Structure 1
Amino acid sequence: MEKTRAQVTCAFCRGTGRSRGAVCQVCRGAGTVALSSPTRRCVYCRGSGLQQRGSALTCGVCRGVGWVTVEEDAVPCPSCRGTGVEPESKLPCLTCRGKGVIAAEKA
């Protein structure tokens, strides 16, 4: 099965193509980013594209896009229960890599 491409608005610059007076480092000024489908909003940064609120650092899970590519048959991650965060820390879940879901055959 061939994956299709989805254009999503860059979360880091909110689609403007500029961030802090310069060309956005995530979308390179385009305001959108192409991802393989299916996609879902990044649960680790809650779609903000930022490592944490008020930060100028990009989210390590979605790389600042605010969206991640997931498997078609994805199910909630049993380790983090779909939050994308390790239960004992604020780091991305190691099982799902912070996406909050895993492929059904891995569950």
Structure 2
Amino acid sequence: TLSVTDDPLLRDPFRGMGPEVDFLPFADPRALEAATFRSAAAVIVEPIQSMGGVRMADHAWYRRLIERAHEGGCLVIFDEIQTGLGRMGRWFFAGHEGIVPDLLTLAKG
């Protein structure tokens, strides 16, 4: 998990130990449309960025992210460690407003 965090202080000690990782600005529609997904195996997103300032994207952005990733042949993984297991009033963020990833995570370790 530390190899895919966008925090360089946490990620840098693990650089070169895992796959190459690219980052998109969260909830930025222009960056999403400009992104190339064909060389990626998966897209990992924290549906509501808890450590990043409790930020949430518009539901249309999540749906478009999934659509673009699938067009490029990528899986979509939601990191629901902070949002899952009923913390949002429902079991998961996944499923809200027709937003359905391919996989979701519930724990680290």
By the TM > 0.5 criterion, same fold?
A: no
Q: Report the TM range for the smaller structure's normalisation.
A: under 0.3
Structure (1/2) with the larger helix percentage: 2
TM-score of the two chains, using structure 2 as the length reference = 0.25
Normalized per residue, which structure has more strand? 1
TM-score (norm 1): 0.25
